[in-house]
Amino acid sequence: MKSSAILRFPAYALIALVLCGVWQNSAWAEAKWPREKAALTYAPEVPPPIARKQPSIVEVHLNSSVEQWEISPGVKYTFWTFGGHVPGPFIRARVGDMLEIHLTSGDASGMPHNIDLHAVTGPGGGAKVTTVVQGEERVAWFKLLHPGLFVYHCAAPPVMDHIANGMYGMILVEPKKGLPKVDKEFYVMQGDFYTKEPNEGQEMLEFSHEEGLKEHPRFVVFNGKAGSLIGENSLKAKTGQQIRIYFGNGGPNLISSFHVIGEIFDKVYRDADLISPPGRSIQTTLVPPGGATVVEFSAEVPGSYTLVDHAIFRVEKGAVGFLDVEGKPRHDIYVSQDDPTPCEGCLVHP
């Protein structure tokens, strides 16, 4: 090849790539693909299964915002959120779909936010092309190449502060054939929170980067606050129903040893791998920060079942919730000579 041809080729290639890039940007906005707005839900709700058999553009609108609520009875915390909740909305799509993310910010501090989706293939998981401050909107398209249950989180600097303050959620990418049908699906996400030592009577707690660095959380909670799955907020099911929990860990630091007291998981899609055969008859499963699992079981015996991180001191930091199961007693499986003993002040046996 002549040297002039070698020199010319990169220029042509560059022009072609630029044109291709421009074409693709507008193409995905106007593509003749089917298009749908994602049915976003907040924990513990899960959007309905995907019924269609063809790929679609799935439009997702997310707004970052700063919110305050009680992280534990009597004490408030300032959360950084997707959609005003921790965790952020549950997104449900199908492998092969084109995810169309619209990210906006309502954060009056002017702090930038963005989104890194673990379901996305490409630099930063999308973070580098979605950074927004208040009043801006960024739109980006990401092809979902892998099925699974994936964490998403903000990755604006300092990344650890954005995650530690609650900027995470999950996206389920269903395999082509979908998932086995179940009766109940729940969305539960664990997170650890770090605050400065409060003064006596101080109601509003303050974030501590230093405590985060030391990995000394004051709170470890499910779904953004202690008590999110207790009392009237408990998960509910009936005996015999097939129950699926999409369980994720926003971290930022702690590995969760996810366990349901009184149950054995019929199936564990380890690390939320929805392709390999699931593990069977499993008691406790590890979920790392930025990771997830999918568990399935049916409760044969009625009563209260307790969701915990089996690193059990964390129950006192908020990592406890309940699944209340209604149904007829099963004395063929679980029976006693005497009545149950009351468990005064017990955090795990209501």
Residue range at the interface with Cu ion (CB under 5 A); choices 45-53, 108-116, 228-236, 285-293: 108-116
Number of residues that bind Cu ion (CB under 5 A): 5
CB of 113 to Cu ion, least distance (A): 3
Instruction: Please choose, from the candidates 81, 249, 65, the residue with its C-alpha nearest in 3D space to the C-alpha of residue 166.
Output: 81
Which of residues 156, 163, 287, 319 is near Cu ion by CB under 5 A?
A: 156
65 burial (CB, 10 Å; 0-12 / 13-18 / 19+) is buried
CB of 91 to Cu ion, least distance (A): 17
CB of 80 to Cu ion, least distance (A): 5
CB atoms within 10 A of CB 188: 23
Residue range at the interface with Cu ion (CB under 5 A); choices 8-16, 146-154, 219-227, 282-290: 146-154
Q: Which of residues 237-296 bind Cu ion (CB under 5 A)?
A: none
CB of 277 to Cu ion, least distance (A): 37
Residue range at the interface with Cu ion (CB under 5 A); choices 22-30, 106-114, 122-130, 203-211: 106-114
Which of residues 167, 272, 287, 308 is near Cu ion by CB under 5 A?
A: 167
- Residue 113 found at the interface with Cu ion (CB under 5 A): yes
Nearer to Cu ion, 120 or 156 (CB): 156
Residue range at the interface with Cu ion (CB under 5 A); choices 128-136, 157-165, 287-295, 316-324: 157-165
**Before 87, cis peptide (omega within 30)?**
yes
CB of 159 to Cu ion, least distance (A): 8
Q: Which of residues 56-85 bind Cu ion (CB under 5 A)?
A: none
CB of 165 to Cu ion, least distance (A): 8
Q: Can you give the binding site for Cu ion, defined by CB under 5 A?
A: 113, 154, 156, 162, 167
